[in-house]
Structure 1
Amino acid sequence: MTSPLTALPPLVSSRTKLLILGSFPGVASLKAQQYYGHPQNHFWRILQAIWPSGHLDMRATSYQNRSEWLLSKQLGVWDVYAACEREGSLDSNIRNAVLNDFSLLKELCPGLQAIAHNGGESFRHAKHTMLLGLPVYKLPSTSPANASWSFERKLAAWREVFERNGLVQEPAAGGALDASSG
């Protein structure tokens, strides 16, 4: 039996328009106390592709700088689970999970316009986030375990949700969206 793990606090601001909800931080993220802390996770790489920062590689900057950059783009990050038991980092190993209180989002993010679930495990709880009355999307997981989606395919789906919610000005060519509206 593993001891209970506690999630990271929400990374949001009053300006957050779109909230990305993961399932629960992996071992590397918990150890570093950073969202998407595993170097092979595509999260930060996708954001950099959506919002190019010139020659600056956001993945190589401090977590503080990446967090401020993300918030400045009106994006927020949180997880569906506040706590759970889990061996390793796979979502399939999550046991005795406790959901976060999504009603807090109205107070934390008064400008929130939409929620996007990062992967299937997170999206399993879309019925809870839909209660907020906002559009809810299912995005392909940025986890390295999601090898069935290429980086380019993940990027196209993520970019489309960002465009729909005004976080990207110029549309990209093509792209498919795996989304639901609530």
Structure 2
Amino acid sequence: MPDLKISPLVIFTVGTAASGKSTWARSVQSRYTGLRIAVIERDEIRVSLHEGRIEGVFSWLAWNPALEGKVQRLWEQRVRGAIGTHDVLVLADTHLDVGDLAKKAQWLRDQGVTEMSVHYFPALPLMELIRRDRGRGHPVGGEVLREHIKKLEPEDRYWEAVDGL
């Protein structure tokens, strides 16, 4: 009998910084212990790259944007590796750009992924996001949060991007 490869469910988080995406992703991992769930975050990759190259703690002011190509390659490598070994992949990033999300969804389809979903985090008031951001290890600041709120589109636009519409 041929070995059937089952596609994992890929969940894209969509929301501003400090909206609870990573916290939610980690809670899914701990709640559903019977499932093999991988949480993949670009920020985690950035921190490891930064701290692996430079002495000191990661900060957005110290981040070198020239490393974004390497972040993308490492992200793709992690996702490819998780596709064959996990039941669920949570891609816990902002995913605010609908066009970019559609490209990622197509790339995943090219990798054999057939099941994709969106977990949408509606915009919170800016003051609440700033309060949450200040409690995080790598805050982005009020100006970035304000821009994220402006970029966040209605939920159905993200579902259309993932569904290939």
More strand by share: 1
Same fold by TM-score, threshold 0.5 exceeded? Answer: no
More helix by share: 2
Larger Rg: 2
TM-score range, shorter chain: 0.3 to 0.5
Q: TM-score, normalised by structure 1?
A: 0.36
Greater RCO structure (CA 8 Å; 6+ sep): 2
